[in-house]
Chains A and B, each alone.
Chain A
Amino acid sequence: MFDDLRDLYQEVILDHGKDPRNFRKPDEANREALGQNPLCGDQLVVYLELDDHGVIQDAAFVGKGCAISVASASMMTELIQGKTEAEADALFGRFRGMCTSDEEPDFADAGDEDMERLQVLSGVRQFPVRVKCATLAWHAMNAALRGEAQVSTEE
């Protein structure tokens, strides 16, 4: 097998891809958005439950997608629980930065624990056409926070 494929499909990703966490529709959700990748037809709905202080109490998703988009959604829902809207947005920004960066990032040194966990997805840097898969759920989360019903990776 090729090294870049091994980077892309790390065990953690295969695991999240096959057995996604928070793969459900929560009853208490008060925000949701559909994320679509029109080029490939993949669709994920991200559900959020925000409390009065704007803290994400619960995050979950359902839908169909490739290993990368599902794994990324799964990990995202784990990481944004307990974060404020602003914190979740900021994490999205750092995540997107990693996916499109030329350099292999080192988050351990920076003390960025969330990004350290998401670093397993940095293999997409070598597969530019797959960056949209990795960011699909994040776009949906971002849209849900803004109160938009849907978002497309082609916008």
Chain B
Amino acid sequence: MTGTARATTPGEAYDIERIRADFPILGREVHGKPLVYLDNGASAQKPQSVIDTMRAVYEDEYANVHRGLHYLSATLTDRYEGVRETVRRFINAEKTSEIVFTRNVSEAINLVAASYGRANLTEGDEVIISVLEHHSNIVPWQMLRDEKGVVLKVAPISDDGEFLLAEFEKLLGDRTKLVAIAHTSNVLGTILPAKEIVRLSHDAGAKVLFDGAQAAVHMPVDVRDLDCDFYGFTGHKLYGPTGIGVLYGKEAVLDAMPPYQGGGDMIAMVTMEKSTWAPLPHKFEAGTPAIVQAIGLGAAIDYVTDIGMAAIAEHEHDVLTYATQRLSAIDGLQIYGTAPSKAAIVSFTMESAHPHDISTVIDRAGVAIRAGHHCALPLIDRLGVPALARASFGLYNTRAEVDALAEALEAVQEIFG
């Protein structure tokens, strides 16, 4: 491990200055103003420890994994496989064999749809998603629907963005085979009642997959406590590199699934007649993996674990509460997503200005947010808006940055008034 800041030890106050100093990019300016990075929902910035770790591997330790008997390959294989243990602990899985590396959460979901879905679902079987899904958790199921004649059902939300558990329960039936739902909405911030979803789904005999892209970054996740069958998340939103994601699956479920892609690394034996599959999790990892990215993800998880996911959640909750207050006070600004259980994401519209215009104007004040449909068009339709502006906060954001956002939005008012 490199010697960058250990942010806090339990019981210590959240040392935001030290944490911010760990992220070199936060020191830069944009259009002559200090960067206020509030687009963490799209992708988070990287701490020095992640950057250093990855560079050190390339400079000093690099080789392919699982192949060579030579020193570098053997050492790096240990290091790469060690990340599985880091991930296992991070989400409290039972075994490292349940941790499959993917490119991102999209691939994790596609893997389940293509492997589990194709093997286990037949015409007339039902998959339940929700209206607040990211396209990544819609399109793979539509593809399965079109291929297998599976029926796709959509669980609704309230106007506040709350998941309607009772309505969801009504959708469950004999033919429900799989429930694939976001643990946290990337637009509304809503934290879904995951345990209840699992309990109800299991009672109906369905398996459950959570898209944890936005949940794993904002709060502690315990897959055994949730009792879900699959859980996916993506490294680049968790302060790690792009190109690496995780699919957790219960061992028994993964074991019974056919491979996802064919290639090197995923086989036990190959003859021209037939191949046999490698044991879990390698069965699902064809070809040379994203070795350095996986190690970078390990460093990112070490980083957030050092601070503590509970401490991060608490800090972000404070920033969220403040942001909600500050933004609500702006004339003509409406916040979308006011569920009681919410991660640090604030989507909004302004009466006077379209989200793009908002984004363009505040960008000139150094404030980076996202504007548009957030890869969740069905949700945007449900909300009845053409687009939304979204400020999504991370572990390094501060109340002062919320002030900068609010002041920039006041400038938007001035222009478009």
Asked if A66 meets B364 with Cβ closer than 8 Å, knowing A14-B416, A41-B380, the reply is no
Contact string against A for B residues 332-374, beta-carbon threshold 8 Å, 1 for contact and 0 otherwise: 0000000000000000000001111100110010000001110
Output the least CB separation between B354 and chain A (Å): 4
Q: Is A19 an interface residue (CB 8 A)?
A: no
Closest to A67 in B: B357
Q: Is B387 an interface residue (CB 8 A)?
A: yes
- Kindly identify which residue among A5, A65, A67 contacts B364, using a CB–CB cutoff of 8 Å: A5
Q: Is B124 an interface residue (CB 8 A)?
A: no
Output the least CB separation between A61 and chain B (Å): 14
Asked if A66 meets B361 with Cβ closer than 8 Å, knowing A14-B415, A40-B371, the reply is no
Output the least CB separation between A51 and chain B (Å): 33
- Do the beta carbons of B360 and A130 come within 8 Å of each other? yes
- Do the beta carbons of A67 and B372 come within 8 Å of each other? no
Could you show 12 A-B contacts with beta carbons less than 8 Å apart? A9-B416, A40-B355, A40-B356, A40-B371, A42-B356, A64-B387, A65-B386, A66-B355, A67-B353, A68-B356, A130-B360, A133-B356
Q: How many residues of B contact A (CB 8 A)?
A: 20
Top 8 nearest A-B pairs (CB, nearest first) are A41-B373, A64-B386, A66-B354, A66-B356, A40-B372, A2-B364, A67-B357, A66-B357
Contact string against B for A residues 1-26, beta-carbon threshold 8 Å, 1 for contact and 0 otherwise: 11011001100001000000000000
- Kindly identify which residue among A1, A39, A41, A127 contacts B360, using a CB–CB cutoff of 8 Å: A127
- Do the beta carbons of B372 and A4 come within 8 Å of each other? no
Chain B residue contacts of A68, Cβ below 8 A:
356-357
- Do the beta carbons of B386 and A8 come within 8 Å of each other? no
Output the least CB separation between A79 and chain B (Å): 23
- Do the beta carbons of A67 and B386 come within 8 Å of each other? no
Asked if A5 meets B361 with Cβ closer than 8 Å, knowing A41-B386, A42-B386, A67-B416, the reply is yes
A43 to B380, CA, bound (A): 13
Output the least CB separation between B388 and chain A (Å): 9
Q: How many residues of A contact B (CB 8 A)?
A: 20
- Do the beta carbons of B373 and A65 come within 8 Å of each other? no
Q: Is B31 an interface residue (CB 8 A)?
A: yes
Chain B residue contacts of A5, Cβ below 8 A:
360-361, 364, 415
Of B353, B360, B411, most A-chain CB atoms within 10 Å: B360
- Do the beta carbons of A1 and B356 come within 8 Å of each other? no
Q: Is B278 an interface residue (CB 8 A)?
A: no
Q: Is B174 an interface residue (CB 8 A)?
A: no
**Extra inter-chain contacts (10) besides given A65-B386, A68-B356, A130-B356, CB under 8 Å:** A1-B414, A4-B364, A9-B361, A39-B372, A40-B371, A40-B387, A41-B373, A41-B387, A42-B387, A133-B356
A43 to B385, CA, bound (A): 12
Chain A residue contacts of B411, Cβ below 8 A:
1
Output the least CB separation between B358 and chain A (Å): 9
Asked if A67 meets B354 with Cβ closer than 8 Å, knowing A9-B415, A41-B387, the reply is yes
Output the least CB separation between B270 and chain A (Å): 41
A5 to B377, CA, bound (A): 29
- Kindly identify which residue among A1, A2, A9, A64 contacts B357, using a CB–CB cutoff of 8 Å: A9
Closest to A70 in B: B354
A9 to B416, CA, bound (A): 9
Output the least CB separation between B152 and chain A (Å): 22
A56 to B415, CA, bound (A): 35
Chain B residue contacts of A130, Cβ below 8 A:
356, 360
- Do the beta carbons of B356 and A41 come within 8 Å of each other? no
Output the least CB separation between B197 and chain A (Å): 28
Interfacial residues of chain B within 38-90, with CB under 8 A of chain A in the complex: none
Chain A residue contacts of B371, Cβ below 8 A:
40
Output the least CB separation between B364 and chain A (Å): 5
Chain B residue contacts of A67, Cβ below 8 A:
353-354, 357, 416
Output the least CB separation between B121 and chain A (Å): 29
Chain B residue contacts of A1, Cβ below 8 A:
411, 414-415
Output the least CB separation between A65 and chain B (Å): 7
A9 to B356, CA, bound (A): 12
Chain B residue contacts of A2, Cβ below 8 A:
31, 364
